[in-house]
Every structure is written in structure tokens, then in C-alpha cells.
Structure 1
Amino acid sequence: MADAVESHADLYKIIGSDVSASKEELKKSYRKALLKCYPDKVEESEREAALNEYLKLEAAWKILGDDDTRRQYDAESNERHVQQSVAVNEEVEVEDMDFDDDVAYYPCRCGGSYILQELDIKNDVIVPCDICSLHIKLIVPDHWNAPEASTEDVAPI
């Protein structure tokens, strides 16, 4: 989503605000930052740097100025933060998990399980154990497809 802005730089810092700001506060910070870097408002010698800042600011505002994309950005930022702060016990390939209906399971060394809804399966997702504090990082190859539901357990009509 924020690829145009230095590989997920903190968009709130670019705008000069923080994550708890209301939409109006965010808009006010954006306009204030815009005045500082608008290319027509700076000295000729500073125009190139100002233009770069302006482009970063516009890209940040495009994401944070819209409620839906802001929520998505906040969720992705939070997920990245959790992934960086949680110690991963082991990396597990999705093919090594057991499937039952729409749920994937992987045993933990404590006797518990790492449980994940099939819909939530994606590469690099962090999955906690249901009993202890251990986590796994799920590895999903590009060619992987969810297992088909078994027809053996279905009674004939």
C-alpha cells in the first residue's frame, strides 16, 4: 500500500502527526506540512528537496486521508510491529499442518496447538500456541492450494 513512501516509512511522521490524531487534526497537520514544502513557496535552491518532501507528503495523505485506507495502513503497521516484537519459535510450512474442515493445526511442544482458520493462511503470518507463549511463523509457497474437503465422510443421498 505505501510502497511509494520509502517502504512503509511512518506516514504519520511524514505528515507531522500521530496515530491517535482525529481526521481533522490529521488534516490540519497535513496542511501545515504542505505549506512548508510546497514547491512554489520555497527558495529556488530548495525546490528539488521541497518537491521530494511534497511528493512524500502527498503519498502519505493519499493513504491517511481516506478512512478505509488509513484503517488498513494502521492494521498493517500494527501487524508488522507484532511480528517484529514476538519471538518466533519455529518456521512451519503450511504443508506440514493438519487440516480439519476449514481449520489448520500444528502441534506445539507444550502439548497445545497452533490453530489457524484456513481463510487466514498467508505467508509470514505469526500464529500463537493456544496454551503457551510460543509462536510459529507460517511459510506458504506460491503454488500452495488449500486442501479439498473430503467427500469420504459425506453420507450418500
Structure 2
Amino acid sequence: MEALFYSKMCDAAEKDLYAVLGASPSDSVQQLRHRYQQLALQYHPDRLKAQCSAEAESGVKKFLEADAAWRILSDHNKRRQYDIQRRAQELKQDWPVDTTVCLEEMSWDQDLCVYKYCCRCGGGFSVAEDEVQEEKHSRQQDYEKEKIEGGLHRSVIVCCDTCSLSLCVKKT
């Protein structure tokens, strides 16, 4: 059951559940319920039986999306977890990524036990091996999605120690 929930959360992360309901993250549970009820009345399969099959199929799909969104957003703990994942994804997308490098292209600093790479500003990027390993373990659940050209690619975003740029470090 727990695995099914996290699977649905991963699917939900691909869609903005608030947008599915026509709501915003600041809406209360009552406001979300109202939006869900409006969509359920509009797209419920029982109401769409008289329509042509293409319209009914589209309506059923919208109903199922709204229902899935409501199941997550109506539960306080699931909503909080979804909001955390959503915010993490927003932060990940908003970084001004300067470039992408493979871990093998970075130099190993034996004294600090970190991989280093020079930034164009003169500062540097550094990533500890355990950060790369943590990312590896967190992504193992996305195994099939992460396959690219026969290899499993993992990445971690690292910020420069001097400027606002970041670097995407890939480990293949």
C-alpha cells in the first residue's frame, strides 16, 4: 500500500494537482473540496453516458485526474508531502544551471574527500561522494524512467561557492 502511494505521488509530481482542480496551493481544504465537487459533477461518468464516446472518454479521464488530485490534496499528510516534492521540483528547475559535467570530469580532492570543478566566475563547485551516492539511492525507484541510451544516468545539482550558478553533475 505504501509503495502504491509513493508511486501515485511520483505520477502526481508530473502533473500539478492544484491545476487539475483549478485551485492554488494557498487554497483551504474546503476550497479544494468545492473545486473537486464542481469537477466531479461536470465529469462524472454517470453524467456523461449520453455523450459521444470521445467526449465521454475525455470526461472520464478528467474525472479520474480530479479524483486522484483530491485523494492526495484532501489528506493533510499526503498534501504536505506533495507540496514538499512540488517545491523541490520548482527549486530544481529554477537553478541557473551553467553546464552539465560527468563526475569523471571533476577532479578528486583527497584532503577534503570531494569532487571539484572550476566555475567560470573563478569560484568552484564541490560535491562529496556521499551526496552522489544519496542521489543514486533516491533515484533507484525511478530505474526505468532514468534509462537513457542503455545506461542509467543519475545527476545532482551543485551550487558554486562564489556565484549563483549551478552545475549538473551526472554519474553514469
Tell me which interval the TM-score lies in, with the shorter structure as reference length.
0.5 to 0.7
In structure 1, the partner of 2:162 is 131
In structure 1, the partner of 2:42 is 36
In structure 1, the partner of 2:145 is none
Matches of 1:27 and 1:100, distance apart in 2: 56
* C-alpha displacement of 1:115: 4.0
What count of residue pairs does the alignment treat as equivalent? Answer: 139
* C-alpha displacement of 1:82: 3.2
Matches of 1:50 and 1:131, distance apart in 2: 51
* C-alpha displacement of 1:100: 6.9
In structure 2, the partner of 1:16 is 22
More strand by share: 2
For structure 2, the 5+ residue unaligned runs are: 1-8, 136-153
- Name whichever of 120-129 and 54-63 sits farther off: 120-129
Quote the sequence identity (%): 32
Q: Which runs of structure 2 are paired with 1:4-153 in the superposition (5 Å)? A: 8-42=14-48, 44-45=50-51, 46-95=55-104, 96=106, 98=108, 104-109=114-119, 110-116=121-127, 118-119=130-131, 121-122=134-135, 123-141=154-172
- 3-state SS of the aligned residue for 1:138? strand
Matches of 1:24 and 1:85, distance apart in 2: 31
For structure 1, the 5+ residue unaligned runs are: 142-157
Is the contact between residue 2 and residue 63 of structure 1 (CA under 8 Å) also seen in structure 2? Answer: no
* C-alpha displacement of 1:70: 2.4
CA RMSD, Structure 1 to Structure 2 (Å): 3.0
Matches of 1:100 and 1:22, distance apart in 2: 51
Is the contact between residue 43 and residue 60 of structure 2 (CA under 8 Å) also seen in structure 1? Answer: yes
